[in-house]
């Protein structure tokens, strides 16, 4: 039985960042309490949807991930309530990874200790940049010093597995700015680093600011240099790159996020949460938090969309998600599982990408090169 992961979406934030297009909203104490009750009810009533193939069951889980939003805005008691609901519904593996996303400055020493006592053993926080002016432009509510204090707080509370998020290619950010960010992050020595190139989503305030000329548009050549710099600097500091944007000290990969990239099952709870049975069934919850609560209170579920993938589509997803990993995809294993001969079906594309230096083969192992990682969307599009 393949172990599954559980994702829990907490949609509340102190304020909305200019680049964010996630299902989030301002924190309201009353709605948060109602939402936690709805989460516990949804988890207790969970069943695989009808589109899940026969023989697929809700597996033992070994990862739980609180994402958002800012899950650390909930009280430790509320987090414990949700975790108790998960443990009552699923078989929880010994040593499960339990991650809580948090924003710098939102966690007191007392709360950090209480989160740890409740069973959280991994913290992930959106640092984004060490430049206070850039943080202000992004609508972030913390400073660089808040981030440093938060890490000290987490360490004092016993957190030995911490991840930072940093964004490259921010408006008006220079290569020197990005180099400074890397210096500061590596100096703090978190176990995990998620280093992203900025994506501008159309519905966000940042997209509007760029359209109106408040900031210069992102420069792809500078972004490429930033990407190369982060890969090299992280490697020299002893971090392993295991995915396009993710780096870790040895053995400290995000076990939960690996579920997504290795085609493993995961079950999402909360508004806008998505799920996958590990075979061909996907389903998604209502996006609006208040409407989510109404649906769960009335029916025990908030699923508003289900999708049964064909064998071809499931194989295509497994291929391009697996190529996000630096180890790539074993084409022999892929063919055994999905019945697809990738070399034959995509011979022209593979030859073109290989000639352009975007992919490479090591026997049956297909993987992106460093240049291929920068142009990964173009590569992936050939397999969809």
So what's the pLDDT on residue 208? 58
Of 127, 126, 125, 139, nearest to 171 by C-alpha is: 139
Alpha-carbon gap, residue 27 to 31, rounded angstroms? 8
Say if residue 69 is preceded by a cis peptide, omega within 30 of 0: yes
CB under 8 Å, gap of 24 or more: what pairs does 306-312 form? 306/49, 306/50, 306/51, 306/281, 306/282, 307/51, 307/281, 307/282, 307/283, 308/51, 308/280, 308/281, 309/280, 309/281, 309/282, 310/280, 311/280, 311/338, 311/339, 312/338, 312/340
So what's the pLDDT on residue 164? 93
So what's the pLDDT on residue 223? 85
Per-residue tens of pLDDT for the chain, all 384 residues: 579 999 999 998 765 444 444 445 566 889 999 999 999 999 999 988 665 555 555 579 999 999 988 899 999 999 999 999 999 999 999 999 999 999 888 889 999 999 999 999 999 988 889 998 888 877 777 889 999 999 999 999 999 999 999 988 888 889 999 999 999 999 999 999 999 887 655 666 555 555 666 666 667 788 889 999 999 999 999 999 999 999 999 999 999 999 999 999 999 999 999 999 998 899 999 999 999 999 999 999 999 999 999 999 999 999 999 999 999 999 999 999 999 999 999 999 999 999 999 999 999 999 999 999 989 999 999 988
Alpha-carbon gap, residue 19 to 30, rounded angstroms? 27
CATH 3.20.20.70 residue window(s) in the chain: 4-261
So what's the pLDDT on residue 347? 96
Tokens of 287: 């996006």
Which CATH number does the domain 4-261 belong to among 3.10.20.30, 3.40.309.10, 3.40.50.2300, 3.20.20.70?
3.20.20.70
So what's the pLDDT on residue 206? 53
So what's the pLDDT on residue 246? 97
Dihedrals phi, psi of 86, to nearest 5 degrees: -65, -45
H helices, E strands: number in the chain = 16, 17
So what's the pLDDT on residue 19? 46
């Amino acid at each position: 039985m393949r172990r599954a992961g559980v994702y829990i979406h907490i949609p509340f934030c102190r304020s909305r960042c200019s680049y964010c297009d996630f299902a989030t909203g301002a924190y309201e104490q009353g709605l948060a309490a109602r939402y936690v009750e709805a989460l516990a009810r949804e988890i207790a009533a969970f069943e695989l949807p009808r589109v899940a193939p026969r023989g697929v069951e809700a597996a033992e889980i070994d990862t739980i991930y609180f994402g958002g939003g800012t899950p650390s805005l909930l009280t430790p008691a509320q987090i414990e309530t949700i975790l108790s609901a998960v443990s009552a519904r699923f078989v929880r593996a010994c040593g499960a990874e339990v991650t809580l996303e948090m924003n710098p400055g939102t966690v007191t020493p007392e709360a950090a200790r209480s989160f740890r006592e409740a069973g959280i053993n991994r913290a992930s926080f959106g640092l984004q940049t060490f430049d206070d002016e850039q943080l202000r432009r992004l609508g972030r509510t913390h400073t660089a010093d808040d981030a440093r204090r938060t890490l000290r707080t987490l360490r004092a509370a016993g957190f030995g597995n911490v991840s930072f998020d940093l964004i490259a290619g921010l408006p008006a950010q220079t290569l020197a700015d990005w180099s400074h960010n890397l210096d500061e992050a590596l100096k703090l020595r978190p176990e995990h680093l998620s280093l992203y190139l900025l994506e501008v989503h159309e519905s966000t305030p940042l997209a509007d600011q760029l359209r109106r000329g408040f900031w210069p548009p992102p420069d792809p050549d500078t972004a490429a240099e930033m990407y190369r710099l982060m890969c090299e600097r992280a490697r020299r500091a002893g971090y392993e790159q295991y995915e396009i944007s993710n780096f870790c000290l040895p053995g400290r990969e995000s076990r939960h996020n690996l579920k997504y990239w290795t085609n493993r099952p995961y079950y999402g709870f909360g508004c806008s949460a998505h799920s996958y049975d590990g075979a061909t069934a996907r389903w998604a919850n209502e996006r609006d938090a208040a409407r989510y609560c109404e649906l769960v209170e009335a029916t025990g579920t908030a699923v508003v969309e289900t999708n049964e993938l064909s064998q071809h589509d499931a194989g295509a997803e497994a291929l391009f998600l697996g190529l996000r990993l630096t180890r790539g995809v074993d084409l022999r294993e892929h063919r055994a599982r999905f019945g697809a001969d990738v070399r034959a079906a995509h011979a022209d594309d593979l030859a073109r990408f290989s000639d352009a230096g975007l992919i490479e083969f090591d026997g049956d192992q297909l993987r992106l090169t460093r240049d291929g990682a920068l142009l990964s969307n173009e590569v992936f599009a050939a397999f969809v």
